[in-house]
Amino acid sequence: MALLEILQYPDKRLRTVAEAVDVIDDATRQLVDDMFETMYAAPGIGLAATQVNVHRRIIVMDLSAEKNQPLCLINPEIIKAEGVEQTEEGCLSVPDIFETVERAERIVVKALDAQGKEFTLEADGLLAVCIQHEIDHLDGNVFVDYLSPLKQMRVKKKLQKARRQAAIL
Ligand code: NI
């Protein structure tokens, strides 16, 4: 297993639209394992392949407190969405920034697991938010995109300042 580098906003590579996975083989499963390891180490609750500069439609998540309920979705597709919910979101590619985003409250998502088996998942609450956030990454979108232009500028400035300080230390 290996820790992967997580691209940082506003890195342009985060804008790449990921391609569907056609063959789920050992290399795919290795990538999934590495993504889980990277997500747990960060630590985070969700990670899209886009964020580790692999432009394939794969996301990993674990919302459990004990970090023992890994969930992998390959080629995820939202087939039903209803309701509206506002949640404060963060992202491993946008460190230390938390902003409220509006998303569907309940979704049904269809995907393949790491063995290539298709499954359907009904989700609400944080799980629904997380799935929508990660699928956004696969489409080249970041949650910051939903903020006003002024707020987006503030986020960029805050991140630049944090990086400058990190470079001094
Ligand atoms: Ni994210």
Catalytic choice (37, 77, 82, 134): 134
Query: Does 122 score more than 80 pLDDT?
Result: yes
**The two three-digit tokens of residue 42, written as one number:** 């960060």
Q: Is 89 a catalytic residue?
A: no
As a three-state string, the secondary structure of 49-118 is HHHHCCCECEEEECCCCCCCCCEEEEEEEEEEEECCEEEEEEECCEEEEEEEEEECCEEEEEEECCCCCE
Mean pLDDT across 143-165: 94
**Cα of 136 from ligand 1 centre, angstroms:** 8
pLDDT in tens, 14-52: 999 999 999 999 999 999 999 999 999 999 999 999 999
Query: Does 124 score more than 80 pLDDT?
Result: yes
Query: Does 166 score more than 90 pLDDT?
Result: no
Name the more confident of 168 and 2.
2
In the structure, what pLDDT confidence band is assigned to residue 165 with cuts at 50, 70 and 90? confident
**Cα of 161 from ligand 1 centre, angstroms:** 20
Give the separation between CA 102 and CA 86, rounded to whole angstroms.
4
